[in-house]
Each structure stands twice: as C-alpha cells, then as structure tokens.
Amino acid sequence: MQNGRARIVITGIGAVTPLGMDAESSWQSLIAGGHGAGPITNFDASQYLVHFACELKEFDPTEWMPRKMTRRMDRFAQMVVAAARQAEADSGLDIAKESARIGASVATGIGGLQSYQDCYDTLRERGPTRVNPFSIPAIIPNMGAAWVSMELGTKGPLTSQCTACAASNMAIGDGVDAIRLGRADVMLCGGTEASVTEIGIAGFSAMRALSRRNEAPEKASRPFDAGRDGFVMGEAAAILVLEELEHARARGAKIYGEVVGYGISSDAAHITEPDPTGENPARAMTMAMKDAGITPEDIGYINAHGTSTPLGDASETRVIKLALGDERAREIPVSSTKGATGHTLGASGAVEAIFTTFAIQRGIVPPTINYEEPDPECDLDYIPNDAREVEDLRFGMSNSFGFGGHNASIVIARWDE
C-alpha cells in the first residue's frame, strides 16, 4: 500500500501494431525510426481520396485461434485476442486458478466496422433473410472485451470503453480503479481498432481528417511539423496486465513499471475540434500528476496524443504548457509515436502506454519521425527523427484526446525495488 491505496504494476504486455506482431518488435522498429505506412491492401482504394494507411499486413488470426472461430469475429476482436494471449503468456499468470479475481477492461473507438459494412452490403444485395446471424455480435463495440474474457477465462470485472481516441487510456484508468477498489487483483487492460475499411477511409477522408500525401505515404504522418495535413489511419491492438503489487510479488512476477496516475476531463466544446482554451485537457494532465503525487518537475517524458492534424497538434502544445508551465514544458522531451504507427484511434492509448513504459524502463525516448519544418505554434522539444537516451527517467506521461471532448492522461513510473 502507498498513501493508503493499492499500488498497481505492469506485469505483462502484448501488442500487434503496424510496426510488428508483438510489443518488442514494435518497439525496436519505433526507436529505429521505422514506420508502418503503405498502400492499402484490405480493399481496392484506388478510387478513394486516400490510398494508404498503417495496416497489420502480417497479422494472421489463425495463429491465435481456430479458423472457425475467426468467422464469428470482426478483425478488431481477432486482433485484441492475439494481444491478450501475448500479454497473458508474458505475465506468467495462471488465470484459471484465480479467474474470479482477474478482469478485463478493453476499449475501442468504433468496433466492428468491417462487419457493419458486410452486413449492410448483404442486406442491400441479397435481402434481409441472408444477413449473417453473427453480424450483430461482430459489430458491437463490447465484443473485443467479451472475446478476451471468454478466450482467456477471466471472470472478474468486464468493461468496454467507447470514448473515441481516449478509449484505451480510459480502459487502463478503469482497470487501475478496479484494483484500487478491491474488485480485482489483476486487470487485462487495453484497446483495439480495425478501421482501415471502405467506410473508415471514406468517412474520415470526407471530413478532411486524413493526410492526402498519396505520393509519399511514409512521409504523411508528421506530428508537430509545419507541413502536417492530417493523420494516417492505423490499426492495432494492445493489452497491459495490471496487477496489485503484493499479488505480483507473491507469485514472483517480473515488473515493467507502475501506473501511478490517471486523470480525465471533458471539453464540452465541439464534436471534432479540440477545446480552444486548452484548459480541460490540461486539467486531465494535472489531475494525473496529482493522483501520482508528483509535480511537473518530476515528469521526464511525454508521449503526446500528436495526431498530425493542424489544429490538434497546435492545441496539444498549448495544453502541455498550461499543465506544466511554459518554462518546464520546453524542458521535457515530447514525442508522438503516431508518426510511426499512424492513428490507431481507440487502440492508440494502450499502444502508447506500452511505448511509454518501455521508454521509462530503458531510458530511451522514441522519436517523432518526419519532423522537418518547425511550426511556430509547436515549439517544444519533439525529439525529431532520432531516439534519444535520457538519464534518470523516472516518470512518463501519455495523453489521449478524443472526438467529442474526451480527455485522458496516465502517468507511468519506472520500477525500482
């Protein structure tokens, strides 16, 4: 116990991302300056305004589940089951032994978008009696969490967050709260998204949210750069095993880091644009620091939401200054790993929580790739293009801000016995 409450440590990690089919290979590609962008292969995008994305080109769901089962699941659920199985194996947990005290908190921003499209196409082309009976269970957003619970056998708290791009940061926060409140000893927390679909690309293109650098996909995601023109759609799934410290110690678990702070707020401003004052997302950051019992001087790295949109990146720069003070904000290394992964929407917070954990654990902060031309409105230290070693890196913060004004920040601490 610390300050009268349970301490929550990270004891397992799993991920499938555009950079690799596990967390370690994704990290190694990230710090080497890699990227996952390329022409879309999930469907023929030649007639679309945007022809590229950050896909999971090497993902094969049958490596993680029987082929028959994959036919009942949308891709977003298949991906998170793979990430959860990786995290379970990495943690060394015996879930069957204490399933009632192990839960899952798994987020998504949209859910089964491909299954929704397939259902609609069948309805229009073949009629209502030919719709797949598994369509609704494949579409609904909670089924990522549900499949994780069913496949791994967790019987503790089971929640699913659908708060746009802040969703998986909130899933982590909800998992922390469940353990602190004594409802579970272990929570599998994270998010998943598979929105590189016809509807996804067409819809986000229509609202001019996506970069249109079709001639150079590898340069399209350029957070905080003056030439940024929108985000690159990505797909990913990531799971962190959060565990009460004494429970982890009792079974001799390895520990990656400690989740020490969580803050949330809402903008109440606009359906897509960020809060023009910056006060509300800044409040999520200050809340997370207060929860962690630290000050801005303790923060050694910020993994920014940094989507590569003109409004969003400038706004987050202001937000960081509001939360940490202008002078301190300029001293802290800040990077957006979405330059490499694209924007994985509801999965982004969990992917970036893993990257933040590795950064704190290993003393190296990942770069913001494609940063070429400074923007006067974005004037912090964005770790341009090359990873950087940082001494005595003790606390890292990860931000996630979503459409509709959802804001969430978490603080992760270096583990030191």
Residues designated as active site: 165, 305, 343
Instruction: Let me know: does 209 contact 312? Beta carbons within 8 Å.
Output: no
Give residue 221's identity as a one-letter amino acid code.
S
Listed residue (190, 115, 183) closest to 152, CA to CA: 190
Listed residue (37, 343, 368) closest to 200, CA to CA: 343
Listed residue (98, 262, 281, 287) closest to 189, CA to CA: 262
Measured CA to CA in angstroms, residue 414 lies from 41, 362, 363 at distances of: 39, 9, 9
Q: What does the alpha-carbon distance between residue 64 and residue 15 come to, in Å, rounded to a whole number?
A: 13
Q: Please give the full DSSP string across 118-175, using - where no structure is assigned.
A: HHHHHHHHH-GGGS-TTHHHHHSTTHHHHHHHHHHT--S-EE----GGGHHHHHHHHH
Instruction: Let me know: does 414 contact 393? Beta carbons within 8 Å.
Output: yes
Q: What does the alpha-carbon distance between residue 87 and residue 106 come to, in Å, rounded to a whole number?
A: 13
Instruction: Let me know: does 22 contact 271? Beta carbons within 8 Å.
Output: no
In degrees, to the nearest 5, what angle opens at C-alpha 304 toward C-alphas 302 and 309? 160
Q: What does the alpha-carbon distance between residue 50 and residue 47 come to, in Å, rounded to a whole number?
A: 8
Q: Please give the full DSSP string across 8-30, using - where no structure is assigned.
A: EEEEEEEEEBTTBSSHHHHHHHH
Q: What does the alpha-carbon distance between residue 95 and residue 128 come to, in Å, rounded to a whole number?
A: 41
Instruction: Let me know: does 156 contact 136? Beta carbons within 8 Å.
Output: no
For residue 63, the 8-state DSSP code is: G
In degrees, to the nearest 5, what angle opens at C-alpha 396 toward C-alphas 394 and 399? 170
